[in-house]
Structure 1
Amino acid sequence: MTDRKKVIAVLDDEAKMRLALARLLKTYGYDVAPFESGNDFLKAVHSDRPDCMLLDLHMPRPTGFDVLASISSMHNPMPVIVITGHDEPGYAERVRGLGAKDYLLKPVDESVLIDAIQRACPDGSLPSNQKF
Structure 2
Amino acid sequence: MRTKIALSAAVASMLFAVPVFAAPETPSNTQAPYDGHGGKHHRKHKGMERRLHRAVEDGRLTQAQADQFLAEAQQLREEMRAQRQAGGCQLNPEQKQQFKQRKQALREKVRTALMASRPR
Instruction: Please indicate the TM-score interval, normalised by the length of the shorter structure.
Output: under 0.3
Bigger fraction of residues in helix: 2
TM-score after normalising by structure 1: 0.25
TM-score after normalising by structure 2: 0.27
Q: Which has the higher contact order (CA 8 A, sep 6+)?
A: 1
